[in-house]
Structure 1
């Protein structure tokens, strides 16, 4: 048999899934590994999908998604992000934020083009960039600087092959939020070097402590070089529905629509109607979930910082804590695997997210208060055994 794709063979599988798989078969496991809300999708959103099916909305839609959803997305961004996009030709519905990211890279990059990402960053960025025959170029970001890009670090990464900056705020895995000054600095560099910005804002509703969310496309001259990626997955507990959206310049979105026909035709039709209800219907569940995340964040951070040799920053957004384990003397892998074997608690090793993640582990607080407290009782036992 002829060999399979050498490009795909060269891409390493995600280590987060390795930890998830290792936990299978163990009893009484406490999991902080998967970034998924523990809440079920709000009932009024589920009802909207049922009604859509009852009305016969079970057929193909346009490649770019149904117009009522694109109109709802447009109105939402005008209200929340303070940016204006034409639903006819500047918005496309995607299979979650993941497909939006992939399509953005597919349309923007040629083989050998470089895409700048932070280190640490969302682990799937690396694989997506490499699958598109582009090259991820990492910019170290440091705990002491809030895990955000600095101008010096970003400028050092730019070469003649640079094509785009991938900016995720709030950030997975660190919970960092780029403030307006940081975003203006990134915009200035992007314009100076004629770079695109892929703006991954899927956690934008999950910002705490009065932090202001600022969309980079608001800056004069940036709308035409920015592709926004968002979804209903995290904010509305709709991870399994797989509905996201891309917003950007018409020439970019039109290319995405073309590729959609060859890729999967369209997004699940009833799920698109559910997404309309998520964006336009009652927001009580979203408010409640955010209040719960804020409570759970404090509990987790307090528990971490009360344990000798462990520490963390208070994350400003998303639902992750990036816990510093350097004083334990263990590597990220040793800590995560040892904790799983000894206490049946599963976390993500920090080096899943890049070389700069070594010495950290990521934990999701999108779980119950009971799980957080029980999990940290076990983590404390594990750490005490190391002394």
Structure 2
């Protein structure tokens, strides 16, 4: 028996599989849950943790769901890949918003964006395949890659680069095991947006290296200061080696409805549909009909929300940069500020000396009653993410608490 072999009693005594036991809890959801628990206990916590619009889902979308709930045809199983009318509407919406023409058969409707993320990696990756992950990254990406047997390869770009990776960095990270480039713009957690020229350059590089590109475009409609969203699927000729991920959660304030999608080559979508048929079957039909109303309707609601997000974005960045020891670049997309707090680490604060951004975030929550997500959730320590998708009054109160608490 090899020294690395595990004995039968050891295997039998292990209650949780290594694969599942190695998964870290979603840090953003954990912070949000802790903040809500403290609120329930009577503490006036301001939560900057979850990326969730504070607006209600637009009324016409809710009405579509109500009508669907009354219709017996939606009380039954439907195709695992999604309602045909929704797949067609997503294809139409994709052409409208990003200029990318796809067939409805290239669309798979999923239970939220996270399922689309996981199924994309599970469908493409074999054990040991590497995925280049621009960092800071959304906390779910590396876990989904590992669950699929892949290896995430982090490529870090700090605030000095505007949190935007360069082709030189990507080139330095590639190996013979690299299969996929993950590309996200606008970014969660940084709010960074690649210019059309940068998107095209990275897309051409990926094509020259014969890589798959998985692009998460869920924040496509949330850009500011005249900055454009550009889909890498149209910016460069990637052939059929591109998968587009998206959903209704952020654009239409529908985080709880759980409808996302992946778009890709028909053989990949068919394989992912097979996986979904065994994992969850179809997405709830009422939610699908709500999503149909969303993607088929006007963008009026999102434009109204965007004005509020823009106002809050500017207020948050100004407030954070007024704190000695915090540097916060202005984000041009999504609804997050990603603040550099490395100068605060090692400084005595309220009788404690935090050495990591995780320790700092814990201290801020306990003493200042403000919930932020530490940089460790998204890559290296030394940063914190704050969502500005909350009410103006709460945002102002939370920033004021940070200013008072972190004052030297």
State TM-score, norm by structure 1: 0.96
Q: Shift in Å at residue 324 of structure 1? A: 1.5
Match of 2:22 among 1, 4, 10: 10
What residue ranges of structure 1 are gaps of 5+ in the alignment?
none
Task: Determine if contact 1:324/1:361 at 8 Å carries over to the other structure.
Answer: yes
Match of 1:256 in 2: 272
Task: Determine if contact 2:240/2:264 at 8 Å carries over to the other structure.
Answer: yes
CA distance in 2, matches of 1:114, 1:327: 34
1:172 partner SS: coil
Deviations 1:141-196 (A, max 9, x none): 12111111101110011000001011111101000011122212221221122110
Is structure 2 residue 339 aligned with structure 1 residue 323? Answer: yes
CA distance in 1, matches of 2:377, 2:275: 30
CA distance in 2, matches of 1:131, 1:162: 17
1:90-129 alignment runs, 5 A limit: 90-129=106-145
Match of 1:341 in 2: 366
Is structure 2 residue 394 aligned with structure 1 residue 371? Answer: yes
What residue ranges of structure 2 are gaps of 5+ in the alignment?
1-11, 346-353
1:211-360 alignment runs, 5 A limit: 211-329=227-345, 330=354, 331-355=356-380, 358-360=381-383
Task: Determine if contact 2:204/2:236 at 8 Å carries over to the other structure.
Answer: no
CA distance in 1, matches of 2:311, 2:106: 37
Task: Determine if contact 2:218/2:247 at 8 Å carries over to the other structure.
Answer: yes
Task: Determine if contact 1:74/1:85 at 8 Å carries over to the other structure.
Answer: yes
CA distance in 1, matches of 2:63, 2:338: 37
Is structure 2 residue 406 aligned with structure 1 residue 383? Answer: yes
- Cα distance change, pair 220–188 in 1 and its aligned pair in 2 (3 A): closer
CA distance in 1, matches of 2:301, 2:46: 25
Deviations 1:243-289 (A, max 9, x none): 01111111111111111211111111011110111112243221111
- CA root-mean-square deviation: 1.4
CA distance in 2, matches of 1:169, 1:58: 37
Task: Determine if contact 1:223/1:249 at 8 Å carries over to the other structure.
Answer: no
More divergent stretch after superposition (110-119 vs 16-25): 16-25
Larger RCO (CA under 8 A, 6+ residues apart):
1
CA distance in 2, matches of 1:164, 1:279: 28
Aligned length: 382
2:85 partner SS: helix
Match of 2:215 among 199, 215, 224: 199
State TM-score, norm by structure 2: 0.91
Task: Determine if contact 2:131/2:179 at 8 Å carries over to the other structure.
Answer: yes
CA distance in 2, matches of 1:21, 1:251: 39
Q: Shift in Å at residue 307 of structure 1? A: 2.0
Task: Determine if contact 2:89/2:296 at 8 Å carries over to the other structure.
Answer: yes
1:224 partner SS: coil
